[in-house]
């Protein structure tokens, strides 16, 4: 967590599925809290480009999700959508958070949408960033992951070119971001968490919260045009945007744009509540 601004601190929350480790920054922000959910096999350190910008206006909590490398300790498998909504709801309750902006990237985006569908009581808004769950995970996504692993073996001077070719900013991420993940990987044993199942039309249409969806135009996970059309057709209060020239790693590739869109969205939804 060396790249996070100071001061920040960590705390643990007990749930029915294990102990969930949470990093907190932003004691002075007066807006509704922002809760961040990283992608599969990720870590709260991944959010370092967002923390200072969001924390200037909102308390920020980055969750180390269960069954991922990090300091959370899983004792029962969250086998499906209902169980995942349950443990995340218990974390929000354990933190004493009544109304949060829930933001997730990739698998974290699936968790955020799933929470909006099944346990929206503590949510103010939901922002899935290039999320899972909108369509079936394509084979090319797994090929992209394998290519990224080989990219890490490339000479350091060549990695920027490989990162651009693959639209994979993790290949040129600061060592301070990768270090906590690499340390956690030494003892990480996945507990057979199932892949994120695509949401049905009825489930997406059930979401009554304001939703912001950002999609990378070069995403290895999504077909941007189809996903944009689907969320705009089904989610009643959605704002959706395809970010040009960006892959699956929106938060690392275009941090200034992502931060600006998030803060604008949070402010706009607050104004809408005041008007109502």
pLDDT at 275 over 70: no
**For 20-44, what is each residue's pLDDT tens digit?**
999 999 977 789 999 999 998 788 9
HEC string for the chain: CCCCCCCEEEEEEEECCEEEEEEEECCCCCCCCEEEECCCCCCHHHHHHHHHHHHCCCCEEEEECCCCCCCCEECCCCCCHHHHHHHHHHHHHHCCCCCEEEEEECHHHHHHHHHHHHCHHHEEEEEEECCCCCCCCCHHHHHHHHHHHHHCCCCHHHHHHHHHHHCCHHHHCCHHHHHHHHHHHCCCCCCCCCCCCCCCHHHHHCCCCCEEEEEECCCCCCCHHHHHHHHHHHCCCEEEEEECCCCCCHHHHCHHHHHHHHHHHHHHHHHHHHHC
pLDDT at 188 over 60: no
Q: What is the CATH number of the domain that holds 244?
A: 3.40.50.1820
pLDDT at 42: 85
Answer whether residue 227 is part of any domain. yes
pLDDT at 264: 98
Answer whether residue 144 is part of any domain. no
Q: How many CB atoms lie within 10 A of CB 146?
A: 9
Structure tokens at 188: 């990480």
Answer whether residue 149 is part of any domain. no
pLDDT at 186 over 80: no
Average pLDDT over residues 241-254: 93
Answer whether residue 165 is part of any domain. no
Res. 2 pLDDT band, cuts 50 70 90: confident
Buried b (16+ CB within 10 A) or exposed e, 204-225: bebbebbbbbbbbebbbbbebe
Answer whether residue 73 is part of any domain. yes
Average pLDDT over residues 95-115: 97
Answer whether residue 266 is part of any domain. yes
Say if strands 238-243 and 60-64 run parallel, antiparallel, or are unpaired: unpaired
Instruction: Give the Cα separation of 220 and 117 in Å (integer).
Output: 25
Evaluate whether 128 touches 213 at the Cβ level (below 8 Å): yes
**pTM for the complete prediction?**
0.87
- Find the domain containing 238 and state its range: 8-136+188-275
Answer whether residue 148 is part of any domain. no
Domain count, the chain: 1
Answer whether residue 158 is part of any domain. no
């Amino acid at each position: 967590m060396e790249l996070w601004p100071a001061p920040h601190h960590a705390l643990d929350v007990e749930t029915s599925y294990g102990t969930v480790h949470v990093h907190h920054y932003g004691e002075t922000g007066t807006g509704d809290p922002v809760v961040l959910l990283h992608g599969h096999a990720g870590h709260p350190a991944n959010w370092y480009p967002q923390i200072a910008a969001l924390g200037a206006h909102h308390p920020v909590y980055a969750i180390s999700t269960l069954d991922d490398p990090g300091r959370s300790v899983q004792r029962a498998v969250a086998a499906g959508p209902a169980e995942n909504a349950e443990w995340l709801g218990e974390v929000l309750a354990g933190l004493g958070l009544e109304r949060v902006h829930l933001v997730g990237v990739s698998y974290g985006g699936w968790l955020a949408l799933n929470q909006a569908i099944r346990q929206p009581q503590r949510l103010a808004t939901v922002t899935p960033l290039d999320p899972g769950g909108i369509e079936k995970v394509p084979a090319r996504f797994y090929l992209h992951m394998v290519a990224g692993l080989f990219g890490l073996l490339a000479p350091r001077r060549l990695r920027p070119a490989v990162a651009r070719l693959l639209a994979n900013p993790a290949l040129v991420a600061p060592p301070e971001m990768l270090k906590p993940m690499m340390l956690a990987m030494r003892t990480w044993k996945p507990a057979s968490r199932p892949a994120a199942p695509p949401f049905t039309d009825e489930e997406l249409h059930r979401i009554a919260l304001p939703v912001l969806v950002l999609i990378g135009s070069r995403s290895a996970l999504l077909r941007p045009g189809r996903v944009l059309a689907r969320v705009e057709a089904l989610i009643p209060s959605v704002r959706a945007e395809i970010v040009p020239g960006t892959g699956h790693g929106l938060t690392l590739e275009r941090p200034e744009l992502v931060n600006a869109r998030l803060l604008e969205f949070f402010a706009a939804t607050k104004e809408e509540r005041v008007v109502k």
